Structure 1
């Protein structure tokens, strides 16, 4: 953060345009560090400062400056694209759908300029995936589906990008899941995507958190199929996939990451169903430890607090459960309009509506 504070003192000074370009790059790298380490709210001001410097450079860089330096207009464009990508990415993880749409639309447009360049085709495909994510956050599910299909199509044209299609595949499966009436399609796409990863990296790989996303999503779809078909065996499959997701996230991104906490909540649901209340409470306490660490996770904190109240109710501790339910409800009220409901009326789906699709 010292870099950000130092750069603020330079904004009003007549410093070299190219020096501001270097600062934009440094701030972007610093923001990316905070983002990847889970400090999302600390990353935002760094990226925003980088954006201001980058826009200044874009508007003031002359041909003479370009000739006198090793910087090209493409270099500036590339940094600006990365900045928009990073701000959009943070927006997806801090429940800001409008910001995600704004920055990912710009990112997609910038990548479209280079879609004919083979070594940049992967970036163009990624931009379609991210635009799909923004559409998902805004519940524009059919538009999101088209974006994910376009991303997969571009990646399949380029052998070097084929392994990258996991993200649009898992997101496509989730778009089918949320559309309603397309659970079988969701299951087929997600299972195919998981099998593709297993073919490349082996079963239960620890290459990245992406396999965990497939496991989490498949667990969700299996649970809904179990309810639709009244099939308890599918519910047991759901539990297995959610537990695998929790283990995978823990091994790849650590127990204190918000995705790991999301999986803790899903496992806690199964534990409550099976009467394993100690295990359910332990998972929810771990989830709340993560969600209480940042106000970026207020929707997730509300849900976990509500579910903790349900564990207490199942134990018969009604006096202890009431304030927990009330706290979860109050958090939810601050996030959405629930004028016609009371704390006693809210259900899981009320909380899901304010949580990003991949965390549900």
Structure 2
């Protein structure tokens, strides 16, 4: 049930955004008993807009934060850490990964990975083992990052044009979409990059991927000329076209996020944010108040990444690495849950795993 104070705060924020010539510099995460907020990355403005989807088509931007990144835009991939009250995002112009501490007061933004990336489009956070996964379309690689130290390990190589990724640390799987037309695939592996499995090859022009944690389904968008949103169970069953455009402004879906009974997506050609119930509904909500600069003014307003900040998406669960990071000096990456131990220690690029299988060193063992 919607609480009155949220409505009052939304109204207050909306009025302030109209009256004041600048954006708020704070972000308040929803409580455990509240519904999700939707964050949208404005690629051109390098800004994050937050709105409450329960307000329907009249929803307004209740929080807007200017982000670090490239001049003239670049923000694209986005995920969050609910327990740590943080947002992560990537920037295609600077080719860096950033974080924002969101505690409702003064925010703290910083670079957590600088350099060494080509086109970091996808981002997914393992909230149980504190690992951040980044997919790089240009380098055809997937990296895992320690968001606290910035340490980086190349996890997967030769993943042709990998577009987007998702993780489920409760089940131990990493999911990704890659390729284009004849080479396009939806795949998964364990969180250490092992045990790779093709989920579906019935995919043509994939752009964005989102995991429905409740129903254990994957949703993805396929852009022009396919213009579809599809879903499939994580084990490869029940492939479904969940949305087919019926109006001209629904063409070319781009970013997508799923939360509870709804999915939300961005239209690449008209730069609109839309939402729809997952099941048994064709009614589409268009969030018009996010379209600040008019339909055709794409020099100022290009939506790219979209994220449901939903407490239910990051439920607490025991770490497979235990309380001591599995004894690993650097990365502890979950593997098959039934294996002993159910994880592998791994090292940042440029370091080597010693004979004890837990310690990383610059030394080269003979």
**Fold equivalence (TM over 0.5):** no
> Greater share of helix residues, 1 or 2?
1
Higher RCO structure, 1 or 2 (CA under 8 Å, sep 6+): 2
Larger fraction in strand: 2
TM-score, with length taken from structure 1: 0.30
